[in-house]
Structure 1
Amino acid sequence: MIMKVISDFGSPLTLLLTGLAVMAYTWFGRRHFWDTLLVPVVLAGSIFLNEALKLLFHRQRPGLPHLVEVTGLSFPSGHAMVSFSFYGLLIYLVWLNFSGRVIKLLITVILGFLILAIGISRIYLGVHYPSDVLAGFSAGSFWLVACILSLRGIRYHRFMK
């Protein structure tokens, strides 16, 4: 089932393993401490924020038959939120660290479609309402921008000293 495979790109295990690979690359391959630190901050922070929002809204999952086994609350979608934060971070890091406009655009389009596909897969699998996914994307974008702006502020103030 293709939607299950797409959904798995937003699973905790996939994001953890991919995050570790990105951290290894940014640290050992590029020696970028702040980029390396940003990966676990974005991942852990988006997971924590998602759990807090789920407890706040306490929305049950759709009453439809679920095509995958799930537990927990529905709003906002954790897969959508954490995937948006993490894959959005990868897009940011690519634009920050790579040269070559074509490769940057290609990676941006691929990861952008992946983010959308993960959200659509969660609706298709019957485990989220569309509003859960949209809220996940919104909260994920908020967290990602907050992390990037915070990092830029830290870098700026360290440089100015």
Structure 2
Amino acid sequence: MTKTSLPPEEKKVADKVVIFSKELIILLAAFAVSLFTFIFIAFRVFYLDKTGADEKAFAFARSIVNDSTTKLMEIVTFFGSHYFLIPANLLVSFYFLLTKKSRYSIKVSAIALSSVLIMLGLKLLFNRHRPLIPLLEPARGLSFPSGHAFMSVCFYGLLMIIIWREERPHPVLKWVLLILVVALLLFIGFSRIYLRVHYFTDVVAGFCIGSFWLLLSSFLIDRIRPAGLKQA
């Protein structure tokens, strides 16, 4: 029995359905892992009062403290601060407006604003005070989850999603950029522990809930099709 082939138009639709199904499965898995890890960390820290990981992380950070590393960590942590991320979000959003990619401009703005509100709400909810042993100047505000980790994942992660979905650059360059972004995120997270303005669990929780919100909000915005809005 010969296998019947679908007409070109139906084949395109079928391919899109398969791709969408795979993306949905990956997204659901990422949602579940990120949210579960965040809940697990919060349960251990606030209900079981388990802080061994925080103490070990501080001990390791103390063992590598020197002037050169401290200066490097100050630079790295700047790229996860609101001093950098607020203008960066505005510039990226404005860039997409100029290039007539309204979908991306709306996505950048919506995720940036919503993530700030969620982060502030979570900090007030958990009300965890910062470490009392800052390496340099003490940071203001509450500690859990790390705002640097949360906001950095939302901004840099969204840029990577956008780059990954574009036809250019070359796939090899996309992987190089992805690795560099992941490395930057890890360094930003570690800088907060090194400078002793966040606990290890603050940083991991920030990465987890930031990833969860980035993927969820990005998925929801992609499903919305406001009248007259051009799809990027």
TM-score of the aligned structures, taking structure 1 as reference length? 0.91
- 2:157 counterpart residue number: 88
- 2:88 counterpart residue number: 18
For 1:64-116, what per-residue CA distance to the aligned partner results, in whole angstroms no more than 9, with x for missing partners?
13423411110000000000111000100111224211221121111111111
Tell me whether 1:48 sits opposite 2:139 in the alignment: no
Q: Which amino acid aligns with 2:129?
A: Q
Q: Contact conserved, 1:98 with 1:104, CA < 8 A, in 2?
A: no
Tell me whether 1:112 sits opposite 2:182 in the alignment: yes
Bigger radius of gyration, 1 or 2? 2
Number of equivalenced pairs: 158
Structure 1 residue 40, shift from structure 2 partner: 1.4
- 2:204 counterpart residue number: 134
* Distance of 1:17 and 1:51 partners within structure 2: 19
2:224 to 149, 154, 159: 154
- 2:98 counterpart residue number: 28
* Distance of 1:62 and 1:120 partners within structure 2: 15
* Distance of 1:65 and 1:12 partners within structure 2: 19
For 1:87-146, what per-residue CA distance to the aligned partner results, in whole angstroms no more than 9, with x for missing partners?
000100111224211221121111111111100000000000000000100110111011
* Distance of 1:18 and 1:107 partners within structure 2: 18
Structure 1 residue 155, shift from structure 2 partner: 4.0
**Structure 2 unmatched ranges of 5 or more:** 1-70
For 1:42-84, what per-residue CA distance to the aligned partner results, in whole angstroms no more than 9, with x for missing partners?
1111111110000000001112134234111100000000001
State the superposition RMSD in angstroms: 1.9
Tell me whether 1:58 sits opposite 2:127 in the alignment: yes
2:136 to 60, 67, 76: 67
Tell me whether 1:4 sits opposite 2:49 in the alignment: no
SS in 2 for 1:75: coil
SS in 2 for 1:24: helix
* Distance of 1:61 and 1:96 partners within structure 2: 38
Q: What percent identity do the matched residue pairs reach? A: 39
- 2:107 counterpart residue number: 38
Q: Contact conserved, 1:4 with 1:68, CA < 8 A, in 2?
A: no
